[in-house]
Each structure stands twice: as structure tokens, then as C-alpha cells.
């Protein structure tokens, strides 16, 4: 049975406590999971949704996508029916350390990894972000129960306690990695995630960190130009930039910085990227910053093929010969500038293959054709 108790907090604000029967389950190395049931109508009083957004300094906050209104409405209609609605999946909540667990009497034959007791959750008056919990999974179900025309609807809750936003983001990614979670949202969250992640996500964490620097560092020539959930007005698709970065990290200009633990590798990598794309903006000003339909330089085929050229120019340097500066990148790029048709004209690939500038598409064949063409022209000159 749920009980509430009123107390005076340190600043005299009135706070209620929910005292809920719960099980504490030990998982892994010292990780504790709490499972309990409560009226879903009360969930908004103890937990809120941490909406993904960026502040005026471009720092990332939160991790949740906006409510899908059609999905919420469908769940709400189901809850309001007379057909004995059932929502068997638990809502997952990350609590901060204001929530505590009081163990009760445990039976002698109970498993060592579980004990029963009471989970004590404060209900603090004030704005939503002062709630002790953040919903990691189940925001659509919680919103549907909140809006449903029913007096109560008990739900199962799984919870963990942490003050670390990175831990909350990691759990959010893991819980949603097998669902239709937008890839762009995962890419924005990965740089600030911590702990164990599946190998495919761990591999993408470094490219996602570099993408964040390219997009939100004020020094970057691509500042606010990459389209992400928190920067929807960007003209360049994030997937194109990620592919360019992943290629360079595997065996290109960025490769030699990735395993040197004595250096701030991401800093050097970003310097290379800032220098190269600054040079690109200087050599091709008429094609810079335009939407892809007006400039194939800002299109996937341009971003990825120019990434290959960045790697080729960097490889022309002797190993350990420093970072290519903006002026040197620009000098190399000028040698192929007259061959590029980013905004008008025709690409002459030789052997009778001629393509209008806007016929070039973001396909593996066209990317390879443009990338090979630019590298051959560069090496010949």
C-alpha cells in the first residue's frame, strides 16, 4: 500500500514522501536496480522527461526526444477502453540520490542478490526539473496515463539511482538501441555517454564526439551547419559527416592521433578538421554553406569525397611532420579547384563519362567516382 508523509524541508518548502514496497536487486559489480509498482497518475509527480536540447553555449542537456502525440493518443485510447487494458512493460526511471532504500526483514532462504524493503521518494514542490527522477524509457506510456480519463492505472517501475547524466544517457541508449530510435539522436547522445556500450555504438562514439566539435565549437568552419536533432536547420546531413570521419579515423588523416594516449587526441583531430574545412570554405566560397540542392559540396557526395582528399593531402606529408595548416591545405585544394563542378556545369570524368553537377547523387557509385576523380587530379598535379 502506498503511503505519504508530509515533512518540512530545510527551506520550509512542503515535501511529501512516497513510501513504496520495493525489491532491491544487485546486478553486475555493485549496480542496484529497484522494482516496484505505483499508480501511473503519480509518476509525473516524481519524475520528468529530460528533453534533449542545447544551451546558449551549445552544451548538450537531456536525452529524450519529444512526445510522439499520435503514439500517446493511441495508448490513451487503449487505457480508456473497457477491454481490461494491460501495459506489462516497466517504466524505467533514473533517480538522483535524494531517493533512498530502507531494507526490511529478509527471509533466510532468499537469494543473496535480492532484498525487500521500502523505497522512499520525495515529492518536492517546484518546477519539473526539480523532480528526483528522470524517465529513461516509457515517456509515451507515462504521458498517456497522465492524460487518460481514468482515476488510476497501476504500473510497474524499474529504477536505478545515479547523479550522473552520462549514466542516464547510456542507459537511455541501451534501452532504446533495439527500437526505432532516431540515429541522429543516438549520435548526439554518444559523446556524453559513459559505461559499457555495445560494440557498434562504442565504435561510433569517437566520430560522434568529433561531429559534436565540428558542429558546436565556435572555432569550427562548420559551426551550426550539420543537421542534428538539436540543430535541425543545418544544411549538411550528420550521416555524411560521420562517414567522412569514420573513413579518416580508420586509415586517413585522423588515424595517427587515435592511439596516442599521451596527447589530447580529439584536440589534434579537431585541429586537422578545422584547418581542412576552413581551407575548403576559402577555396570554394561560392559553394559554401548552401543547401545540397544548390551545392553538391554540401551534399553527401561532396563531404565524403572531400574527406578522402583531406586524407590524401595529409598522407603526402612525412610521418610525424606536424599538422597541415590552413594555408597549405588551401594551396593543395587550388590545384583541383578548376576541375570541380559543385554548383554549375558538368563533371568530365573521362572515358566519355560526363555528368551535370546536380546529377551527382549520394550513392556509393557517385561518391567513388567523384572521390577517385579528385584524388587522381590531385596526385597528377
Write the pLDDT tens digit of every residue in 210-233: 999 999 999 999 999 999 988 999
- Name the residue ranges covered by the structural domains of the chain: 3-181, 196-380
Residue 101, SS3 per DSSP: strand
The C-alpha cell at 335 is 590545384
Q: What gap in Å lies between CA 249 and CA 231, rounded to an integer?
A: 24
Write the pLDDT tens digit of every residue in 286-340: 999 999 999 999 999 999 999 999 999 998 875 556 789 999 999 999 999 999 9
57, 168, 270 from 208: Cα distances, Å: 18, 18, 12
Strand partners, 27: 31
149, 282, 283, 300, 338 from 334: Cα distances, Å: 67, 10, 6, 21, 8
pLDDT band at 6 (very low <50, low <70, confident <90, very high): very low
Tell me the angle at which helices 139-147 and 69-79 cross, rounded to the nearest 10 degrees.
50
- Closest listed residue to residue 40, CA positions, set 82, 79, 83, 95: 79
Dihedral angle of Cα 184, 185, 189, 190, to the nearest 10 degrees: -40
pLDDT given at position 50: 66
Residue in the structure block whose three cell numbers are 492505472: 153
The C-alpha cell at 233 is 536547420
Residue in the structure block whose three cell numbers are 477491454: 83
Cα–Cα–Cα angle for 234, 235, 238, nearest 5°? Answer: 70
pLDDT given at position 74: 86
Residue in the structure block whose three cell numbers are 506489462: 88
- Supply the pTM of this predicted model: 0.61
Write the pLDDT tens digit of every residue in 43-90: 999 998 865 556 666 665 554 555 567 778 889 998 998 878 899 999
Are the CB atoms for 130 and 44 separated by under 8 Å? no
Q: What gap in Å lies between CA 14 and CA 16, rounded to an integer?
A: 7
pLDDT given at position 261: 53
Amino acid at each position: 500500500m502506498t503511503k505519504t508523509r508530509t515533512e518540512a524541508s530545510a527551506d520550509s518548502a512542503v515535501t511529501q514522501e512516497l513510501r513504496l514496497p520495493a525489491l532491491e536487486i544487485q546486478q553486475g559489480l555493485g549496480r542496484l536496480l529497484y522494482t516496484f509498482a505505483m499508480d501511473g497518475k503519480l509518476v509525473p509527480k516524481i519524475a520528468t522527461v529530460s528533453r534533449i536540447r542545447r544551451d546558449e553555449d551549445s552544451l548538450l542537456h537531456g536525452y529524450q526526444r519529444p512526445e510522439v502525440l499520435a503514439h500517446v493518443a493511441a495508448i490513451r485510447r487503449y487505457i480508456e477502453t473497457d477491454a481490461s487494458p494491460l501495459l506489462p512493460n516497466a517504466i524505467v526511471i533514473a533517480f538522483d540520490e535524494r531517493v533512498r532504500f530502507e531494507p526490511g526483514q529478509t527471509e533466510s532462504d532468499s537469494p543473496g542478490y535480492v532484498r525487500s524493503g521500502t523505497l522512499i521518494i520525495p515529492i518536492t514542490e517546484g518546477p519539473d526539473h526539480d523532480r528526483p527522477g528522470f524517465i529513461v524509457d516509457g515517456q509515451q506510456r507515462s504521458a498517456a496515463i497522465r492524460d487518460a480519463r481514468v482515476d488510476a492505472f497501476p504500473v510497474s517501475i524499474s529504477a536505478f539511482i545515479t547523479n550522473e547524466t552520462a549514466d542516464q544517457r547510456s542507459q537511455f541508449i541501451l534501452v532504446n538501441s533495439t527500437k526505432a530510435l532516431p540515429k541522429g539522436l543516438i549520435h548526439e547522445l554518444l559523446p556524453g555517454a559513459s559505461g559499457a556500450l555495445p560494440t557498434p555504438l562504442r565504435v561510433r562514439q569517437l566520430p560522434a564526439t568529433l561531429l559534436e566539435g565540428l558542429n558546436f565549437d565556435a572555432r569550427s568552419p562548420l559551426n551550426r551547419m550539420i543537421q542534428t536533432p538539436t540543430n535541425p536547420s543545418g544544411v549538411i546531413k550528420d550521416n555524411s559527416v560521420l562517414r567522412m570521419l569514420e573513413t579518416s579515423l580508420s586509415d586517413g588523416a585522423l588515424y595517427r592521433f587515435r592511439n596516442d594516449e599521451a596527447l589530447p587526441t580529439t584536440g589534434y583531430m579537431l585541429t586537422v578538421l578545422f584547418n581542412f574545412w576552413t581551407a575548403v570554405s576559402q577555396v570554394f566560397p561560392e559553394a559554401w554553406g548552401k543547401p545540397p540542392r544548390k551545392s553538391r559540396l554540401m551534399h553527401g557526395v561532396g563531404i565524403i569525397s572531400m574527406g578522402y582528399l583531406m586524407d590524401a593531402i595529409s598522407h603526402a606529408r612525412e610521418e610525424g611532420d606536424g599538422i597541415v595548416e590552413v594555408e597549405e591545405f588551401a594551396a593543395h585544394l587550388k590545384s583541383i579547384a578548376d576541375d570541380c563542378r559543385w554548383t554549375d556545369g558538368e563533371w568530365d570524368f573521362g572515358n566519355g563519362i560526363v555528368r551535370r553537377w546536380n546529377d551527382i547523387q549520394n550513392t556509393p557509385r557517385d561518391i567513388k567516382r567523384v572521390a577517385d576523380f579528385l584524388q587522381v587530379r590531385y596526385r597528377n598535379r
